[in-house]
Amino acid sequence: MKAYSYSDFSLGLHRKMLDQRFPVQGTIEVTYRCPMKCVHCYNNLPIGDQQAQREELTFEEHCRIVDEIAKAGCLWLLYTGGEIFVRKDFLEVYTYAKKKGFLITLFTNGIFISPEVADYLKEWPPFSIEITLYGYTQETYESITGLPGSYERCLRGIRLLKERGLPLKLKTVVLSLNHHEIWKIKEFAEEQLGLDFRLDAMVNPRLNGAKSPLEVRLRPEEIVELDRLDPKRMSEWRRFSKKFAGPVHSSGLGETLYQCGGGNHTFSIRPDGGLTVCALSSAESFNLRKSSFQQGWEEFLLKIREKKVTKRTRCISCEIKAICGMCPANGMLENKDPEGPIDFLCRVAHLRAKALDLSIKPHGTCDYCKG
Partner 1 sequence: MNDLTKCFLKESNFATRSILGETILVPIKGGVGDLNSIYVLNELGTHIWEMMDGKSSLNRIIEEICSAYDVGPEQAEKDTLEFVNSLEVSGMIRSIPRTV
Q: In this structure, how many other beta carbons lie within 10 angstroms of the beta carbon of residue 17?
A: 16
Rounded to an integer, what distance in angstroms lies between the CA atom of residue 68 and that of residue 3? 27
Does position 122 interact with partner 1 (CB under 8 A)? The reply is yes
Rank residues 27 and 285 by Cβ distance to partner 1 and give the closer one.
27
Does position 366 interact with partner 1 (CB under 8 A)? The reply is no
For residue 343, how many C-alpha atoms fall within 13 Å in the half-sphere facing its CB? 3
- Contacting residue, 11, 21, 92, 124, with partner 1 by CB under 8 A: 124
Phi first, then psi: give them for residue 106, nearest 5 degrees. Answer: -115, 130
Helix 90-99 × helix 59-72 angle, to 10°: 30
Does position 112 interact with partner 1 (CB under 8 A)? The reply is no
Does position 15 interact with partner 1 (CB under 8 A)? The reply is no
Does position 24 interact with partner 1 (CB under 8 A)? The reply is yes
Rank residues 10 and 114 by Cβ distance to partner 1 and give the closer one.
10
Task: Annotate 283-301 with DSSP letters as a single string.
Answer: SS-EETTTS-HHHIIIIII
Collapse the DSSP code of 305 into the 3-class scheme (helix H, G, I; strand E, B; otherwise coil) and give the result.
helix
- Contacting residue, 47, 125, 202, 284, with partner 1 by CB under 8 A: 125
Counting residues that bind partner 1 (by CB under 8 A) gives 28
Instruction: From 289, 263, 264, 265, select the one nearest 276 (Cα to Cα).
Output: 263
Rank residues 167 and 340 by Cβ distance to partner 1 and give the closer one.
167
Instruction: From 164, 147, 167, 151, select the one nearest 106 (Cα to Cα).
Output: 167
Tell me the residue length of the chain: 371
Rank residues 68 and 230 by Cβ distance to partner 1 and give the closer one.
68
In the complex, least distance from residue 218 CB atom to partner 1, rounded to whole angstroms: 35
Site string for partner 1, 189-218 (x = CB under 8 A): ------------------------------
Query: How open is the CA angle 179-180-184, to the nearest 5 degrees?
Result: 105
Rank residues 73 and 149 by Cβ distance to partner 1 and give the closer one.
73
The window from 12-20, 30-38, 168-176, 235-243 that contacts partner 1 (CB under 8 A) reads 12-20
Does position 2 interact with partner 1 (CB under 8 A)? The reply is yes
Distance of CA 225 to the CA centre of its chain: 22
The window from 11-19, 26-34, 140-148, 308-316 that contacts partner 1 (CB under 8 A) reads 11-19
Q: Which of residues 45-104 bind partner 1 (CB under 8 A)?
A: 70, 73, 75, 98-103
In the complex, least distance from residue 129 CB atom to partner 1, rounded to whole angstroms: 12
Rank residues 5 and 359 by Cβ distance to partner 1 and give the closer one.
5
- Cα–Cα distances (Å) from 162 to 158, 194, 261, in that order, read 6, 10, 32
Site string for partner 1, 127-166 (x = CB under 8 A): x---------------------------------------
Helix 231-244 × helix 220-228 angle, to 10°: 100
Does position 13 interact with partner 1 (CB under 8 A)? The reply is yes
Rank residues 124 and 240 by Cβ distance to partner 1 and give the closer one.
124
Does position 4 interact with partner 1 (CB under 8 A)? The reply is yes
DSSP H or E run through 129 = strand 128-132
Does position 123 interact with partner 1 (CB under 8 A)? The reply is yes
Instruction: From 194, 83, 177, 108, select the one nearest 136 (Cα to Cα).
Output: 177
Rank residues 41 and 74 by Cβ distance to partner 1 and give the closer one.
74
* DSSP β-bridge partners for residue 172: 199
Does position 21 interact with partner 1 (CB under 8 A)? The reply is no
DSSP H or E run through 76 = strand 76-80
Rank residues 77 and 356 by Cβ distance to partner 1 and give the closer one.
77
Rounded to an integer, what distance in angstroms lies between the CA atom of residue 353 and that of residue 237? 9
Binding site for partner 1 (CB under 8 A): 1-6, 9, 13, 16-17, 20, 22, 24, 70, 73, 75, 98-103, 122-125, 127, 167
